[in-house]
Structure formats: structure tokens, C-alpha cells
Amino acid sequence: MHSFAIVGAGILGLATCLKIRERFPDASIVVLEKESDFAAHQSSHNSGVIHSGIYYKPGSQKSRFARAASQSMTAFCQAHDVNHRICGKLIVARDNEELKRLDVSYDNGRRSGLRVEKLSSEEVRGHEPHARVHGGLFVPEAGIVDYKDVCRKLVDRLKNLGVEFRYREEVRALKEERGHLGVFTRENSYKVGMLINCAGLHSDSVALMQGLSAARKQFQVVPFRGDFYTLKASRAHLVKGLIYPVPNPKYPFLGVHLGRLISDKVEVGPNAALNFSREGYDRSIVSRELARTLAFPGFWKMAGNYWKEGVAEIWRSYNKQAFLRAAQRYVPEIQLDDLDTVHAGIRAQTLSRAGRMLDDFEVLTGYRSVHLINAPSPAATCSFEIAGFIVDRVARHRAEH
């Protein structure tokens, strides 16, 4: 019998595991991961940005977590020798209308206690000589890291702390039994005191295995694809740091941006297009999951609200020219030939039955279980804060039962 089983060796499963180990030093813990290695999905297919929290309503959970997280993630990287850089981020306006919207981000940032600088178009060029925009904001606390490196350090540390890792173990069924929860994979079964579901794109399916009626009726994960083009090495000098568009208040995704990675490659992306399957990195894969998405009433309500943005994003996903236009809005010198290889990440975005994309990080509790059912960006940045939030729930749940 294990005291805890964590489902999913993504950054949130790993960070939660560390917090569990710190809070319950004598507990026996197993991590069950369906792939053959850690961080196989969202945690290694993202933009690699340490977000600062400027986008979120001051006082909201995301704003509080991101404020604390830019520091805790940086502290972890420093303590464990993970290559990272606090390079700051530019949010740039293309016209007067966007300049007005930039003021909202400026106010948000200041009210959340962030340092934010307003920049004229010349001052933007001081940061990014090839950018041609009307003006911008500079947020010095944002940075870059490879979250897979963070995961690697977490795995090493957890192994040293006696945590057991079981790869190629897909959790397929859960059974509520007296005094424990039965966890079933294809070949094995585990008796666990408590299960923590950090299964990312499949977190709703794992919650459903326990028949959590709230999950069944209210929520569903919908996969949103984000394509990235890498800029040719000979043209990487066109972008020095992170150049983001002004957020669209009607759409929860941050928009196609230009960003230098910690590896020094420069990427353009990601868009946010509905994907046919949760792990279909190859666009041609159409799975049964599409039918599941289409059968969920919340999907059609969301589609009604966002159909214009949705069509544009899907079009961009198939059309390199459309991607180029998004990049040229900020750096006109970028040409079609400069957009080299393409790869994708797939976001787990939970939708409510009413068609609302859940914004906050969301946790459900069941019999001997805690399920993280919504952890969109900036969840990688906020991993330690979300982990702390989950472990508080676990402690409360254990005290009550």
C-alpha cells in the first residue's frame, strides 16, 4: 500500500510530489506515468516563459500565484542550477486602439505590484531594434527557461527522496474500497491512501474514472493546438527577447508572439486552434476524442462565442503565410523563408458546460482523491504555487476523513 499515488509526471505532478514529500516526510509515494519518460506532453511543448502575472486581474488567483511564482521558479532554478534568464518581456501595440488596451495591462501590472515601464516606439527599438510598433510596455520580471530541465531536476530530487517512479503505467480505472483507493493500470494494481490526479490533457478522464458527477456534468478538457515556427539561425538576430501582442480581452490565449528561448533559438507562435485529439501533434490524427469534444454542449456554446477567432486560428494552423503576417506585425523584416521548422504543443483547456473556458486553476475532491482539472498557462511558471494549493487540499481532505 502506498500513502500517495500521483498520476502524471508533468511539471505539476512533479512539483506536487515534492510538496507532498515535504509535508508528509514518512509517506510512501509512487508516480504513475503512462509515457516512457517524464514531461512528455505540455511540460516540454510550451513557450518556456516565466510569466510575471501582468495579464491577470489584480487579486485573482492567477495574479497572486504568478506574482509569487516568477520568484519561486527563479529561486528553484538558481538553487538547482537550471539555466534560465530574467530577460523581461515587451508587450507592444500596433496602433492607437492597441495603445489604449495597453493601458489596461499597465494598470493591472501596477495594481498587482509589478514593475512596469511604458515605452515609446523609439524606446521599444532600444530593446528590440527590428521591431516597428506604436509603443509598448516592458515587464522586467518575466524570463525564460526550459521547463523540461526544471522537470529533470525535480525527478532527480524526488528519486533521492525515495519517491518511486513507474513509467508506461497508464491509469485506466479507479475503485473505491474500504480504507484505500484501488488504482488499476493495464498490468498492475495499486492500493493507495490518496490519489492526486495531475494528468493534464487527460485529467478530466481520470476524474471520470471515479465517477465524479460534478466532472461528468460540468467540465471537459478541450485540446487547443499551438504551432511554433523556429526562425532560421541566420535571422535569429531579428529578435532579442520576448515580444508579445496586446492581449485580446475576449480570448484567453496570449496570441502569437516572438520569443528567444533559453537555447537561443527564436520561435514564432503559438496560435491556439482547436485540435482533433489531445495528443495529436501530427495534424492528420483524428481520434474518437473529436467526437467527445463535439458531443459536449459547452463546446458548441464556446464555438458560438469565439467562432471568428477560432476560424482564424485554425486557418493560421494550416497556413504559413498567415503565421508570417502575425510575425510581421511586430518585426516586418521577417520573411517567409525565415520561418524554418515547425512543431506544436497542445494545451489542456477545460470548458464548462455553459461554454466558458475556465480561467482559474481548478481542483475537485473525491473519495481519497484530489483532481487538478484545469491548469492552463501560466501553470508551468506557477507549478510550486499550484502544488502548494493542492497539498493544502490534500491535508484538509485527510483531516476530514
Ligand X SMILES: Cc1cc2nc3c(=O)[nH]c(=O)nc-3n(C[C@H](O)[C@H](O)[C@H](O)COP(=O)(O)OP(=O)(O)OC[C@H]3O[C@@H](n4cnc5c(N)ncnc54)[C@H](O)[C@@H]3O)c2cc1C
Q: Return the number of the residue (255 or 345) whose C-beta is nearest ligand X.
A: 345
SS3 call for 119: strand
CB of 167 to ligand X, least distance (A): 9
Pairing state of beta strands 135-139 and 117-120? antiparallel
**Is residue 358 close enough to count as binding ligand X by CB under 6 A?**
no
Cβ atoms of 156 and 177 closer than 8 Å: no
CB of 68 to ligand X, least distance (A): 13
**Is residue 231 close enough to count as binding ligand X by CB under 6 A?**
no
- Closest CB to ligand X belongs to which residue? 10
Phi, psi at 277, each rounded to 5°: -145, 165
**Is residue 256 close enough to count as binding ligand X by CB under 6 A?**
no
Q: Return the number of the residue (6 or 324) whose C-beta is nearest ligand X.
A: 6
Q: Return the number of the residue (137 or 145) whose C-beta is nearest ligand X.
A: 145
Give the number of other Cβ atoms within 10 Å of residue 257's Cβ: 23
Query: Which whole-number Å values give the CA distances from 389 to 61, 99, 155, 165, 397, in the listed order?
Result: 10, 36, 20, 23, 12
Q: Return the number of the residue (114 or 135) whose C-beta is nearest ligand X.
A: 114
Query: Which whole-number Å values give the CA distances from 104 to 54, 107, 109, in the listed order?
Result: 10, 5, 9
The only residue of 375, 387, 391, 394 in contact with ligand X, by rule CB under 6 A: 375
**Is residue 11 close enough to count as binding ligand X by CB under 6 A?**
yes
Pairing state of beta strands 89-93 and 135-139? antiparallel
The only residue of 202, 260, 316, 371 in contact with ligand X, by rule CB under 6 A: 202
The only residue of 19, 45, 316, 368 in contact with ligand X, by rule CB under 6 A: 45
Q: Which stretch binds ligand X (CB under 6 A): 123-131, 305-313, 332-340, 369-377?
A: 369-377
Q: Which stretch binds ligand X (CB under 6 A): 26-34, 110-118, 128-136, 324-332?
A: 26-34
The C-alpha cell at 251 is 480570448
Angle at the Cα of 390 from the Cα atoms of 193 and 209, rounded to 5 degrees: 55
Give the number of other Cβ atoms within 10 Å of residue 249's Cβ: 9
Residues lying near ligand X in the complex (CB under 6 A): 7-13, 32-35, 39-43, 45-49, 51, 170-171, 198-202, 206, 226, 270, 345-347, 375-381
